[in-house]
Every structure is written in C-alpha cells, then in structure tokens.
Amino acid sequence: MKRRDFLVTGLASGASLAATNSGAARADSLNLVTPAPKRNFKLNYAPHFGMFKLHTGDDLVAQLQFFHEQGFTALEDNGAPDRPIADQEKIGRTLADLKMTMGVFVATKDFNNPTFAVATWKPEVREPILKDIRNAVEVAKRVNAKWCTVVPGCHDERLDWDYQTASVVDMFRRCADIVEKAGLVMVMEPLNTRRDHPKLFLTKISQAYAICRAADRPSVKILYDMYHQQITEGNIIPNIDLAYDEVAYFQVGDNPGRKEPTTGEMNYRNIFKHIHSKGFKGVVGMEHGVKDARTKEGEMACIEAYAWCDNF
C-alpha cells in the first residue's frame, strides 16, 4: 500500500475523534481527567502552536491538550520569548500537568547580518546577543525548557573565514557561561542557503560539529534540522552517525515543500528508525507546514503520516 493511501484510510475515524473547534470550550486548568493518548509514538515528536488550528482554535491550553490526546509527548515553540510572561507560565504549567516535554524556542537569531562571526571584535554586536541569552534563561524557567535554538548570523565577506570561526567559538563560550548555570543547552542550527537563508555562516553539520568540539562546553550542541540538511548536503543517516555525540535535538520537514513526512523525497520511516536505534531520548521537532492545512482531514493526514513513519 502506498504511504499516502495508507494515511487517508485513518482520516474518517481520526477526524470524528478530534477535539472541538472551539478553544474556549476547553478548561484553562487541567484539574480534570485527561483522555489517554490515541497513539504511543516511539520518539518524542513535537508539534507547534497553530499546526492543527482547525481542530483546536487558537487557545494555547486547548492546543496542548489536543497534542497530548493525539499521542504527542512534546511541544516546540520557536516564538516563546515573544509571548507575554503569563502565557509562558501557562505553557509551562500545562506541559507539566500533561507530562509533556518542552522542546526548543529561539533564543537569538539574525538572518541578515554578521553577528557571532564578528562579535569578538565588536561589543555593539556582542552585547545584544548576550542580552538575548540572559533573557532565554528566564524564558526557559517559565516554560520548563532544556534547549534553546541559536542561529549565529551571517558570514562577513570582508573577513577571513578562520577568524570568523574563532569568533563564533568564542561567542558560544561566552553564552555558555550564562546558560550553564541554569542547566540550559544551546543548540546551533545549520540552515540551507540554497532556498531559504542566503549568506548564513553556519550551513553544514560537519561545520557545527567542529564548532562544538572547539567550544568544548556541555551546553553547546547541534540542532540537526533534516529538511535543511537534505537541501544542503543530504547524507542524512551517515551524518547523524558522525555527529551524533554533539547532536542534542532533531527537526523534521520533507523536501521539497517543507511539509510533513511522506510528502517529499525523504524516507522518514528509515530515518526515525535509525534515530531510535541509537537510543535517542530527546525531542524531534515538527518544524514544517501541513500539506493540506485547509481541511481537518489534511490536519489528520499530517498526524497519520507520523504514525506511519513511526511504525518501524
């Protein structure tokens, strides 16, 4: 049976069991009996807010309850630092009540300018980064996060590459001095420059691995976004093996299209099987769109895609 054909067979029953459309209909407090999850996933897949909005509405608690009911054991919320403190605290409380794990949020990023690559020599660049990292520690406390994402900016075309690498390593060490006191781990994310983010400094897993080894800090690790790396270099499973000691987090997205697994060229069933075989206990972030986000059936097809790929 073809993968997408298999997924569609679960839509009718899945949709009938889905949560109510109105987030307001769900209690803001979880002092109630929470239904047992519908699936027992082998890996800790983490959807993000807004991913299944036709089933949940916009209410944060309603969305977390729906994720839990579908069998997901984690959340990913890149924009957590931009949320009101009250909402951050609500997310943390709800995750604790549901016994779910908080995945990454973005601590600091810049897609347009050199930052980490020049910060050693430029205090005016360095200090805002350190401010972001100090803020990330406070956000992590509220949402019970163990990891935060760092995008170390663009490269500087006027500066030798080795100087830039040294500056990046130096900045990660400075940031580590802040986060390690709180038990927070920074995960650096290599991103593709061919389609989404031109001019970035960090693009390959091998490059991130070398930076981690040079920084030599337990709070400096890799976020392996498999969508980006399929575009940049492919070789997903061998690179997982080579870099595994420095990888703390994975993210998913099929290519082309950056939608759920089974919609592109990547064999995520084999990839998930391999990650599981290595004993990975962390979070696998679902950082992608839904192929058919216009219908409830499309949202359920995304969930069933994970069920299919997790069935190894």
| Beta sheet of 106-108, edge-to-edge order | 44-46, 283-285, 247-251, 220-225, 185-188, 147-150, 106-108
In angstroms, what CA-CA distances link 146 with 4, 96, 265? 35, 13, 31
pLDDT of residue 35: 75
Query: What residue ranges do the domains of the chain occupy?
Result: 3-19+45-309
Q: Vertex 29, ends 94 and 11: CA angle to 5°?
A: 70
- Nearest C-alpha neighbor of 20 from the set 71, 62, 48, 49: 62
151-183: b or e for each residue (b if 16 or more CB lie within 10 Å)? bbbbbbeeeeeeebbebbbbbbebbbebbbeee
8 Å CB contact between 151 and 132? no
Determine the Cα–Cα distance for residues 52 and 240; give it in Å rounded to an integer: 30
Beta-carbon contacts of 86 under 8 Å, excluding residues fewer than 6 positions away, are: none
Q: What is the pLDDT of residue 36?
A: 82
Q: What does the block give as tokens for 167?
A: 């500056």
CATH architecture for residues 3-19+45-309: Alpha-Beta Barrel (3.20)
Do 77 and 145 contact (CB within 8 A), yes or no?
Answer: no
Task: Return the pLDDT at 26.
Answer: 43
- What is the Cα 52 distance to its own chain's centre? 16
State pLDDT tens for residues 58-102: 999 999 999 999 999 999 999 999 999 999 999 999 999 999 999
Model confidence over 225-263: pLDDT tens digits? 999 999 999 999 999 999 999 999 999 999 999 999 999
Residue ranges, the chain, pLDDT below 70: 1-34
pLDDT score of 264: 98
This prediction's pTM: 0.90
